[in-house]
Amino acid sequence: MGTVVDAVKQEANGTLPNGKKVQVVFVLGGPGSGKGTQCANIVEHFGFSHLSAGDLLRAEIKSGSENGEMIQNMIKEGKIVPSEVTIKLLQQAMMDIDNEKFLIDGFPRNEENRAAFEKVTGIIPEFVLFFDCSEEEMERRIMNRNQGREDDNIDTIRKRFKVFVESSVPVVEYYESRGKVRKIDAGKPVEEVFEAVKTVFSSIHAKVA
Ligand SMILES: Nc1ncnc2c1ncn2[C@@H]1O[C@H](COP(=O)(O)OP(=O)(O)OP(=O)(O)O)[C@@H](O)[C@H]1O
Ligand SMILES: Nc1ccn([C@@H]2O[C@H](COP(=O)(O)O)[C@@H](O)[C@H]2O)c(=O)n1
Ligand SMILES: [Mg+2]
């Protein structure tokens, strides 16, 4: 007989158009809550591949794609790019990367993202890692980030916070009501946050060497 963990994993499986089976963990949290930072740690310790929806969209702008200008304008305004564009990029990345375990960071950002991803891919996340952090701390982190991001300015940050509260928090609540959310206090130093993250992953995923 399978364990509860086996049952969670089975329910969470999804299959890509090329027949590849994948396991997905969504990583959500406000702008600057530390999603990218912690995903890098999870990759190292638990053998996942990290897909940041924001990074994929920024790469799409750089590639000279026909959607580039539209994406750039949306990002400057802190708005959410139409789901079909982002889902295509995520799906392609999961097919291209030689791994079956994916952290999808910054997606789904709204109800449209969530429902469209489920409909198109059939993938249900194994769980949702949610980084809970105050706006004050997130703003401080973003203003000190210095990565040259066009949306890391105070006007766009305020817009991103508004979108997070109005559109992304309801997605977290949706998964919460299904018992899928693992909430982390992300206001602490990086190492302490990762200790909490490790506890969540260790209960489900074996550590890599
Ligand atoms: N726990 C932490 N304490 C202090 N600084 C942190 C912490 N975690 C991340 N940072 C720093 O805060 C900034 C934002 O972190 P990160 O890029 O990981 O956030 P994010 O959630 O991916 O943001 P975004 O949604 O804007 O992509 C970075 O400069 C990072 O080094
Ligand atoms: N599902 C998503 C994710 C991101 N965006 C856009 O990219 C911006 C930056 O995202 P980060 O996760 O890197 O902070 C975000 O503000 C959106 O404009 C999106 O449209 N859909
Ligand atoms: Mg990020």
Q: Is residue 158 part of a domain?
A: yes
Binding site membership of 106 for ligand 2 (Cβ less than 6 Å): yes
9, pLDDT greater than 70: no
Closest CA to 36 of 116, 138, 111: 138
207 has a pLDDT exceeding 90: no
- Residue 135: inside a domain, yes or no? yes
**CA 66 to ligand 1 center in whole angstroms:** 30
Please tell me what DSSP assigns to residue 103.
E
Counting from 1 in the atom list of ligand 1, the atom nearest the Cα of 141 is 12
* Rounded Cα–Cα distance for residues 150 and 68 (Å): 14
Mean pLDDT rounded to a whole number for the chain: 93
Q: Is residue 165 part of a domain?
A: yes
ipTM over 0.95: yes
Stretch 61-73: mean pLDDT, rounded?
98
- Burial label, 119 (beta-carbon count in 10 A; 0-12, 13-18, 19+): exposed
Q: Give the C-alpha separation, 94 to 106, whole Å.
A: 15
Please report which confidence band the pLDDT of residue 206 belongs to, taking 50, 70 and 90 as the band edges.
low
113 lines ligand 2 (CB under 6 A): yes
CATH of the domain at 167: 3.40.50.300
User: Is residue 59, in this structure, part of any structural domain at all?
Assistant: no
Token pair of 163, please? 């979108």
Q: Is residue 155 in some structural domain? A: yes
Whether 61 lines ligand 2, by a CB cut-off of 6 Å, is no
| pLDDT over 90, % of the chain | 89
pLDDT at 204: 77
Residue 164 lies in a domain: yes
Range of the domain at 142: 26-46+100-208
Query: pTM score, two decimals?
Result: 0.94
Question: Which amino acid residue places its CA nearest to atom 19 of ligand 2?
Answer: 80
Q: What average pLDDT does this structure show over 191-209?
A: 87
Which ligand is nearest to the Cα of residue 67, counting in written order?
2
- The atom number, within ligand 1, closest to the CA of 146 reads 29
- Cβ-count burial of 126 within 10 angstroms (0-12 exposed, 13-18 middle, 19+ buried)? buried
pLDDT in tens, 92-114: 999 999 999 999 999 999 999 99
Q: How many domains does the chain have?
A: 1
pLDDT for the residue 1? 45
Has residue 93 been placed in a domain? no
